[in-house]
């Protein structure tokens, strides 16, 4: 009687264990190196069969990609032959869709109906591997970013150093030319040619310096309350002589006579000079350039418009990129480094403004700048001290470097 109870209890427990194994999410196999004796439903689900019986007498090696079967078989044989504790092994399984899964297998010896076998529990660790791979990618990306930042810093320092080295002898040459001109009663065309090309080099050097400072976020504007109408009007008048020589009509228009705003006068002048230089270069004799300023209370619009050659529609989104030329053929007809409009956009944005372009090929271009009219009264009487970067000064004489290409 007691033996019958014990036998029934054992059978009941065995059935409970089987039911428990069947609902486990992990894959459970009893197998050797040649065939599967038992597996649970999770194993059947992953391999795409309806009934676990379909996997019986097949080899567990078939679930592993061919190039990994050799190492997996060695692991199975070693586990079968040696009396060792449960061991772990990582490999790959193919699911019913042919997708590769990373798995971790824990295996221990098991006697199955008198046959030496292994009890293996297979756990899908694909998500863990993906997280590890992602962490490695992040670490690699961080290293690459650090390297790129370090390289960019070195490049910026190099450009700044070489640009200052170039500017020093140029300043000496220009100073000597200025002194020679003061001592000479007659205009010397060769001296003027030397001076002009020094201006061009100095303009390029200054632009490169400022480009690197802007990209490294080291460029700061020196703001003060200033009459923007007076500034723009005087800037336009300063280039009227050059437009007259080229036979181009230059007009200035404003809807207000005075407007105090918070700005860097020197850099605002530089913005206008760059846009005027651009318009003059690409406007033919007999053409027109209009500079307009409109006060809208909390903002002002500055517009530089011409009826020159215009910009193709597909090129307009690139013109504010550094070193960009609309057409390579233009570089043979018009001098320029391709930094002017890049600097214009950067300087406008430093003033919390924005710039847009409207243009049609053969009909001209229009650059519209919108600047907020921020002010603070306590600084309105601060005198204007131009900085060294946009224009070159020698003995109080102002030389508009930004226009050097169109003299």
Beta bridge partners of 89: 105
Residues 275, 160, single domain; the answer is no
Domain that holds residue 117: 2-124
> In tens digits, what is the pLDDT along the chain, a chain of 407 residues?
444 444 444 455 556 666 677 768 889 999 998 999 999 888 888 888 888 888 888 899 988 888 888 888 999 998 888 877 788 898 888 877 778 888 999 999 988 888 889 999 998 888 888 888 888 888 888 888 888 877 777 776 666 666 666 777 777 777 777 777 776 666 676 777 777 777 777 777 788 778 878 877 878 889 999 999 999 999 999 898 889 989 999 999 999 999 999 999 999 999 999 999 889 989 999 999 999 999 999 999 999 999 999 988 888 888 888 655 555 444 445 445 567 888 999 999 999 999 999 999 989 999 999 999 876 544 444 444 444 434 434 333 444 445 544 43
- Choosing from 215, 250, 284, the residue where a domain stops is 215
3-state DSSP call for residue 71? Answer: helix
Question: What's the alpha-carbon Rg for the chain, to the nearest Å?
Answer: 39
pLDDT value at position 13? 54
Assigned domain for 130 exists: no
What's the total number of domains in the chain?
Answer: 3
CA atoms of 166 and 161, how far apart (whole Å): 9
pLDDT value at position 23? 67
Assigned domain for 209 exists: yes
Residues 263, 353, single domain; the answer is yes
Q: Where are the alpha helices (DSSP H) in 282-352?
A: 330-333, 340-350
Residues 117, 26, single domain; the answer is yes
CATH number at residue 108: 3.30.450.20
57 CB-near residues (< 8 Å, 6+ apart):
35, 36
Residues 114, 142, single domain; the answer is no
Residues 195, 239, single domain; the answer is no
Assigned domain for 355 exists: yes
Residues 262, 153, single domain; the answer is no
- Choosing from 215, 236, 258, the residue where a domain stops is 215
Count of other CB atoms within 10 angstroms of residue 64: 19
Whether 213 contacts 160, CB under 8 Å:
yes
Q: Which of 152, 263, 168 is nearest to 206 (CA)?
A: 168
pLDDT value at position 29? 93
DSSP state of 54: G
Residues 114, 174, single domain; the answer is no
What is this structure's pTM? 0.55
**Helices 189-215 and 340-350, interaxial angle, to 10°?**
50
Whether 48 contacts 92, CB under 8 Å:
no
Residues 209, 229, single domain; the answer is no
CATH number at residue 331: 3.30.565.10
- Choosing from 98, 124, 150, the residue where a domain stops is 124
Assigned domain for 129 exists: no
Assigned domain for 327 exists: yes
Assigned domain for 131 exists: no
Residues 29, 162, single domain; the answer is no
Assigned domain for 83 exists: yes
Residues 142, 189, single domain; the answer is yes
Residues 205, 297, single domain; the answer is no
Assigned domain for 132 exists: no
Residues 233, 368, single domain; the answer is yes
CATH number at residue 197: 1.10.287.130
């Amino acid at each position: 009687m007691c033996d019958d109870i014990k036998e029934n209890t054992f059978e009941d427990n065995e059935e409970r264990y089987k039911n428990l194994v069947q609902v486990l999410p992990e894959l459970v196999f009893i197998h050797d190196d040649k065939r599967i004796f038992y597996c649970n439903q999770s194993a059947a689900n992953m391999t795409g069969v309806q009934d676990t019986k379909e996997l019986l007498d097949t080899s567990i090696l078939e679930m592993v990609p061919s190039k990994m079967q050799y190492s997996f078989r060695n692991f199975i044989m070693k586990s079968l032959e040696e009396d060792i504790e449960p061991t772990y092994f990582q490999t790959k399984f193919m699911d019913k869709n042919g997708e590769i899964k990373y798995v971790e297998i824990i295996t221990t010896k098991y006697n199955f109906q008198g046959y030496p076998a292994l009890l293996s529990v297979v756990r899908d660790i694909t998500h863990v591997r993906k997280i590890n791979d992602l962490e490695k990618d992040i670490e690699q990306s961080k290293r690459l970013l650090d390297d790129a930042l370090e390289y960019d810093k070195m490049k910026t320092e190099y450009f700044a150093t070489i640009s200052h080295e170039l500017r020093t002898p140029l300043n000496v040459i220009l100073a000597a030319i200025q002194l020679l001109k003061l001592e000479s009663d007659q205009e010397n065309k060769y001296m003027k040619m030397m001076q002009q090309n020094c201006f061009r080099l100095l303009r390029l050097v200054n632009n490169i310096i400022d480009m690197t400072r802007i990209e490294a976020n080291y460029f700061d504007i020196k703001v003060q309350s200033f009459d923007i109408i007076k500034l723009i009007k005087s800037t336009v008048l300063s280039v009227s002589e050059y437009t007259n020589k080229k036979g181009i009509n230059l007009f200035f228009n404003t809807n207000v006579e005075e407007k105090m705003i918070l700005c860097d006068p020197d850099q605002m002048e530089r913005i206008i000079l760059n846009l005027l230089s651009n318009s003059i270069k690409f406007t033919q004799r007999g053409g027109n350039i209009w500079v307009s300023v409109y006060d809208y209370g909390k903002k002002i619009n500055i517009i530089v418009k011409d009826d020159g050659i215009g910009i193709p529609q597909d090129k307009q989104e690139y013109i504010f990129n550094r070193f960009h030329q609309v057409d390579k053929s233009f570089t043979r007809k018009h001098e320029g480094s391709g930094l002017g409009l890049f600097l214009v956009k950067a300087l406008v944005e430093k003033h919390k403004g924005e710039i847009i372009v409207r243009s049609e090929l053969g009909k001209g271009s229009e650059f519209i700048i919108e600047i907020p009219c921020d002010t603070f009264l306590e600084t309105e009487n601060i005198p204007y001290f131009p900085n060294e970067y946009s224009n070159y000064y020698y003995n109080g004489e102002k030389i508009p470097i930004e226009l050097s290409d169109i003299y």
